[in-house]
Amino acid sequence: MATKSKARKEAKKQTPRSYVRFTLAQRVEHVLMLLSFSTLGLTGLPQRFASHPVSMWFINILGGIDNLRTIHHTAAIVMMFGTMYHILVVGYKIFVERQRMTMLPVLQDAKDALGVLLYNIGFKKSRPQMGRYTFEEKAEYWAFAWGAVVMGFTGFLMWNPVTASKFLPGEFVPAAKAAHGGEAVLAVLAIIVWHMYSVHIKMFNKAMWTGRLTEEEMLHEHPLELADIKAGVAERPVDPVTLRKRQRIYYPVAGVLTVIMLFGIYGFIAVEDTALTTIPPQEEKVEVFVPQTPTPIPTPLPTSTPTPTLPPTTPESALPPTWTSVIGPLFASKCSECHGDSGGLNLSTYASASAGGTSGPLFIAGDPADSLIILKFMSGEHTYMTLTPEELALLEAWILNGAVE
């Protein structure tokens, strides 16, 4: 028994003493915000740089832009709930428990920042001693708070552009998109460059996972807090009676505040009226595309009666053919059944005929020998409908004279 007791004492001596840095609730909150922030970054940057090959690959991996935005919106909702919880907890600690507001920036933080700079470049022999939170940790915390406000406001304008435009000029929506993307890039770079170096590279800080720091780590990072802990002045004693009185005041206020924030989150998500609800349904069919060049003559419906053959004309007896005088009516009478208002090739108007079809331009003005329509008829490839030699001559003459309208 004496040997076991002695071994326990030796093991206790060898185990470094540690101090509680964060509670379990704080660590769970940190992990929740870490996951939501990472998801927002991974799904937001591909939207900010959508034309980049890596972004397109990532969007395709997730099944398209709609799935990417759904994940992005879900992560934003999780962060909103995390922010709401943090506000309520901080309020409890400050009002009920009367904890010191050690996260507030003070003048000493600026002095510490200057001291660390001088120490890093060799103009100072010792590093400044800091307390519960260093100036770097305060800067990260308030940068996150500022980012949450900016991203929340601009995100609302982007998520609900119709509603936002009822109260703000429409220019605010594209401005919000630019600010949202810029702040996202800044936040991700700050985490990768500053936070990763300070917490994971310079010294791997496990406090957010274990909740504790060793005495050596406390002496290096938070020596003033360690001194307060050893002196017994780190925490303020709270009288139980006073604590209950403050709780009776805080809980109703926190309940009302919770309801207000929940309504705010719900409004953030569901306030938008899209065109599906703001525009009444159209009962009549509306032409989606109207060509700029009007149709010179109505397109006749297909008939079973034979179409009359146009009389041949000669350069000596008639003016050069134009679309309006000869070619348009020729196509209307012979080609409208297959190449009317729809299909790969539309011959109902001069503009649509000039645009050509899936095989390319229909004709080359001034060059009938290389025009697709002449080649089709001359080769006999177009078997559904043929032109008479006189009609083909008119078509060639029209193209040769510049295919004028």
150 near 183, Cβ under 8 Å? Answer: yes
CA dihedral 13, 16, 20, 22 (to 10 degrees): -150
Same domain, 223 and 372: no
| Same structural domain, 262 and 353 | no
Residues sharing a CB contact under 8 Å with residue 203, sequence separation 6 or more, in sequence order: 217, 220, 221
Q: How far apart (Å, rounded) are the C-alpha atoms in residues 175 and 170? A: 9
Residues 106 and 249 in one domain: yes
Per-residue burial over 100-137, b = 16 or more CB atoms within 10 Å of its CB, e = otherwise: eeeeeeeeebeebbebbeeeeeeeeeeebebbbbbbbb
Tokens at 34, concatenated: 């870490």
User: Domain containing 189: what range?
Assistant: 16-278
pLDDT per residue as tens, the chain (405 positions): 555 566 565 655 566 789 999 999 999 999 999 999 999 999 999 999 988 999 999 999 999 999 999 999 999 999 999 999 999 999 999 999 999 899 999 999 999 999 999 999 999 999 899 999 999 999 999 999 999 999 999 999 999 998 898 899 989 999 999 999 999 999 999 988 888 888 888 888 888 899 999 999 999 889 999 999 988 888 888 888 999 999 999 999 999 999 999 999 999 998 886 555 555 555 666 565 555 655 555 666 665 555 545 555 444 445 788 877 787 787 777 776 677 655 567 777 777 777 777 777 777 777 777 777 777 777 666 666 677 777 778 778 877 777 787
Of 225, 248, 278, which residue constitutes the final position of a domain? 278
What is the C-alpha separation between 246 and 98, in angstroms, rounded? Answer: 10
Domain-located, residue 74? yes
Q: What are phi and psi of 321, to 5 degrees?
A: -65, 145
Looking at the fold, whether 128 and 229 belong to one and the same domain comes out as yes
Query: Looking at the domain assignment, is residue 381 inside a domain?
Result: yes
- Asked if residue 290 is part of any domain, the answer here is no
Write the CA distances from 161 to 31, 150, 274, 360, integer angstroms: 32, 16, 9, 41
**Residues 274 and 327 reside in one and the same domain:** no
Angle between helices 65-91 and 135-159 (to 10 degrees): 130
H, E, C per residue of the chain: CHHHHHHHHHHHHHCCCEEECCCHHHHHHHHHHHHHHHHHHHHHHHHHCCCCHHHHHHHHHCCCHHHHHHHHHHHHHHHHHHHHHHHHHHHHHHHHCCCCCCCCCCHHHHHHHHHHHHHHCCCCCCCCCCCCCCHHHHHHHHHHHHHHHHHHHHHHHHHCHHHHHHHCCCCHHHHHHHHHHHHHHHHHHHHHHHHHHHHHHCCCCCHHHHCEEEHHHHHHHCHHHHHHHHHCCCCCCCCHHHHHHHHHHHHHHHHHHHHHHHHHHHHHHHCCCCHHHHCCCCCCCCCCCCCCCCCCCCCCCCCCCCCCCCCCCCCCCCCCCCHHHHHHHHHHHHCCCCCCCCCCCCCCCHHHHHHCECCECCCCCCCHHHCHHHHHHHHCCCCCCCCCHHHHHHHHHHHHCCCCC
**How many Cβ atoms from other residues are within 10 Å of residue 242's Cβ?**
11
Report the pLDDT value the prediction gives residue 11, as an integer from 0 to 100: 52
Whole-prediction pTM = 0.64
Is there a single domain that holds both residue 69 and residue 212? yes
Contact call for residues 323 and 350 (beta carbons, < 8 A): yes
Domain identity same for 380 and 232: no
Contacts 24+ apart (CB under 8 A), 148-153: 148/79, 148/83, 150/179, 150/180, 150/183, 151/180, 151/183, 151/184, 151/187, 152/80
Answer whether residue 295 is part of any domain. no
Answer yes or no: is 236 within a domain: yes
State which of 278, 307, 340 marks the end of a domain: 278
The answer to whether residue 107 sits within a structural domain is yes
Same domain, 255 and 331: no
Does 331 lie in the same domain as 192? no
CATH number at residue 38: 1.20.950.20
| 95 and 230 belong to one structural domain | yes
The DSSP bridge partners found for residue 212 are: 20
Q: What's the pLDDT score for residue 10?
A: 60
Same domain, 372 and 242: no
In a domain, 292, yes or no: no
225 shares a domain with 329: no
* Number of compact structural domains in the chain: 2
Q: Which of 244, 278, 312 is the last residue of a domain?
A: 278
Residue 91 falls within a domain, yes or no? yes
